[in-house]
């Protein structure tokens, strides 16, 4: 079986959009990576081809039973034009963990990393070089067998597409308002919450729509069993600075193991800031706020990197945090992470991976 990445370059390069007016995830680069899986041949025929539509049987199981996993990471370009990926090995490992949960065959880590690097390198002039911008990379796997029986597909496609994204913080970093959800549930232990798979996001859309309509930018989920413990935000993990200590919900099995989350924890430990991963109930958070001990709150995720939380609304209570302003530690974490990502700062942890 061919395991060399075959490259077929596009004859018609697209015109690049104005990077400063980019909307998230609407513009795609010139090329994409694709690789097929069959029971007989395993993963085979890895190739980079011009970005193009895909054709599937209407009975392909992806359309009916949603057997799919995905990842999200970014490529950054430094001031001296070096291109970096941030901890891509972690994304590939998480992709494989998600795949195990969803009965999808794992991909070879080395090959996947090579594919990421090659694709980014070929489309490197799509990486916006302005402050805060980057190239968003979306690896994903879909089940493709035409079969209405509810059983794992015998064939799959692994693809990588890329999209240049503008800055999350065009007008400077401004804290968001988040609604604590106490009716709908995103995931429950024993379910698929810790896999990065479509169904988790589809189910959350209605709640996100309601929150948006009420003026909140995101939803903070509580656990599915007791509706009590804090889990995570739409596509971010959460951190709270309470009385000098940083607290983040532990990996309960129902939240995503964020790579930004992991990096924040490692960074805080490195700095000697007390940080603990544990259960934290919404009541505990509310009490901390009432006592004036809830000092800062922020979300962590690939898209925004760090997103300060200025207000949490829970039932009829509004908790304004740090006067609705970005906290000092929040800003320090943001600067440190983006500094490492974009090559502005030293990388003591070896998180950057250079693309030639």
Q: Are 141 and 95 in contact (CB under 8 A)?
A: yes
Radius of gyration of the chain (CA): 21
Q: Which does 208 bind (CB under 5 to 8 A by kind): ligand PLP, its own copies, none?
A: its own copies
Q: Which helix (H) or strand (E) holds 70?
A: strand 68-70
Judged by beta carbon, residue 261 or residue 289, the one nearer ligand PLP is 261
Judged by beta carbon, residue 13 or residue 332, the one nearer ligand PLP is 332
Of the candidates 45, 8, 10, 4, which has an alpha carbon nearest to the alpha carbon of residue 157?
45
Judged by beta carbon, residue 244 or residue 253, the one nearer ligand PLP is 253
Which residues are CB-contacts of 202 (< 8 A; sequence separation ≥ 6)? 66
In Å, what is the CA distance from 230 to each residue of 187, 205, 240, 256, 327? 12, 19, 11, 13, 20
Hey, what's the torsion of the CAs at 238, 332, 271, 88, to 10 degrees? 60
Give the nearest distance from C-beta 225 to its own copies in angstroms.
5
Q: Looking at 188-196, 257-265, 309-317, 333-341, which segment touches its own copies (CB under 8 A)?
A: 188-196
Judged by beta carbon, residue 122 or residue 333, the one nearer ligand PLP is 333
251 binds its own copies (CB under 8 A): no
Judged by beta carbon, residue 43 or residue 239, the one nearer ligand PLP is 239
Structure tokens at 261: 């989350």
- How would you class 202 by CB atoms within 10 Å of its CB: exposed for 0-12, middle for 13-18, buried for 19 or more? exposed
Q: In angstroms, rounded to a whole number, what is the distance separating the alpha carbons of residues 234 and 186?
A: 9
235 binds its own copies (CB under 8 A): yes
Give the nearest distance from C-beta 64 to its own copies in angstroms.
6
Give the nearest distance from C-beta 8 to ligand PLP in angstroms.
30
168 binds its own copies (CB under 8 A): no
Region label for 315, one of left (φ > 0), alpha (ψ between -120 and 50) or beta (otherwise): left
Judged by beta carbon, residue 118 or residue 186, the one nearer its own copies is 186
62 binds its own copies (CB under 8 A): yes
Q: Looking at 10-18, 147-155, 238-246, 262-270, which segment touches its own copies (CB under 8 A)?
A: 147-155
Give the nearest distance from C-beta 236 to ligand PLP in angstroms.
5
Site for ligand PLP in 52-111 (CB under 6 A): 72
In Å, what is the CA distance from 343 to each residue of 106, 116, 130, 169, 193? 31, 19, 13, 19, 33
Judged by beta carbon, residue 237 or residue 252, the one nearer ligand PLP is 237
The number of angstroms, rounded, from the C-alpha of 322 to the middle of its chain's C-alpha atoms is: 26
Q: At which residue do the structure tokens 């709150």 appear?
A: 297
Question: Which backbone phi and psi does 353 adopt, to 5 degrees?
Answer: -125, 120
Judged by beta carbon, residue 259 or residue 294, the one nearer ligand PLP is 259
Give the nearest distance from C-beta 218 to its own copies in angstroms.
10
Q: Looking at 16-24, 119-127, 300-308, 321-329, which segment touches ligand PLP (CB under 6 A)?
A: 300-308
Q: Which does 57 bind (CB under 5 to 8 A by kind): its own copies, ligand PLP, none?
A: its own copies
309 binds ligand PLP (CB under 6 A): no
Structure tokens at 257: 């193991």
Q: At which residue do the structure tokens 């596509």 appear?
A: 235
Q: Are 2 and 44 in contact (CB under 8 A)?
A: yes
Question: What does DSSP say about strands 218-222 and 176-180: parallel, antiparallel, or unpaired?
Answer: parallel
Binding site for ligand PLP (CB under 6 A): 72, 232, 235-237, 256, 258-261, 300-302
Binding site for its own copies (CB under 8 A): 23-26, 28, 32, 51-59, 62-68, 70, 101-103, 136, 138, 140, 142, 146-152, 159, 161, 163, 183-192, 197-206, 208-209, 224-227, 234-235
């Amino acid at each position: 079986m061919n395991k060399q990445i075959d490259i077929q370059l596009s004859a018609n390069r697209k015109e690049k959009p104005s990077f400063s007016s980019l909307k998230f995830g609407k513009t795609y680069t010139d090329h994409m990576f694709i690789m097929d899986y069959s029971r007989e041949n395993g993963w085979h025929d890895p190739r980079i081809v011009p970005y193009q539509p895909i054709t599937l049987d209407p009975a392909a199981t992806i359309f009916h039973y949603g057997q799919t996993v995905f990842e999200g990471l970014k490529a950054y370009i430094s001031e001296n034009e070096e291109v970096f990926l941030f901890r891509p090995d972690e994304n590939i490992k998480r992709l494989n963990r998600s795949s195990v949960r969803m009965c999808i065959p794992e991909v070879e880590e080395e090959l996947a990393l090579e594919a990421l690097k090659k694709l980014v390198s070929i489309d490197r002039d799509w990486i916006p070089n302005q402050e805060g911008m980057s190239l968003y990379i979306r690896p994903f796997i879909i089940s493709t067998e035409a079969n209405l029986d509810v059983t794992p597909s015998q064939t799959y496609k692994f693809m990588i597409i890329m999209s240049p994204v503008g800055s999350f913080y065009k007008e400077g970093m401004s804290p968001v308002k988040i609604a604590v959800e106490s009716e709908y549930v995103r995931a429950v232990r024993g379910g698929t919450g810790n896999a990065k798979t479509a169904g988790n996001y589809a189910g959350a859309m209605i709640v996100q729509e309601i929150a948006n309509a009420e003026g909140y930018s995101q939803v903070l989920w509580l656990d599915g069993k007791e509706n009590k413990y804090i889990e995570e935000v739409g596509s971010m993990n959460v951190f709270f600075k309470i009385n000098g200590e940083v607290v983040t919900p532990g990996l309960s099995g129902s939240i995503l193991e964020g790579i930004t989350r992991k990096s924040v924890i490692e960074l805080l430990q490195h700095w000697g800031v007390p940080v603990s991963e544990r259960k934290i109930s919404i009541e505990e958070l509310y009490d901390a706020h009432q006592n004036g001990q809830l000092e800062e709150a922020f979300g962590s995720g690939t898209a925004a990197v760090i997103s300060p939380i200025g207000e949490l609304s829970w039932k009829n209570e509004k908790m304004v945090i740090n006067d609705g302003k970005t906290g000092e530690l929040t800003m320090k974490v943001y600067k440190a992470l983006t500094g490492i990502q974009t090559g502005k700062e030293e990388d003591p942890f070896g998180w950057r991976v250079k693309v030639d």
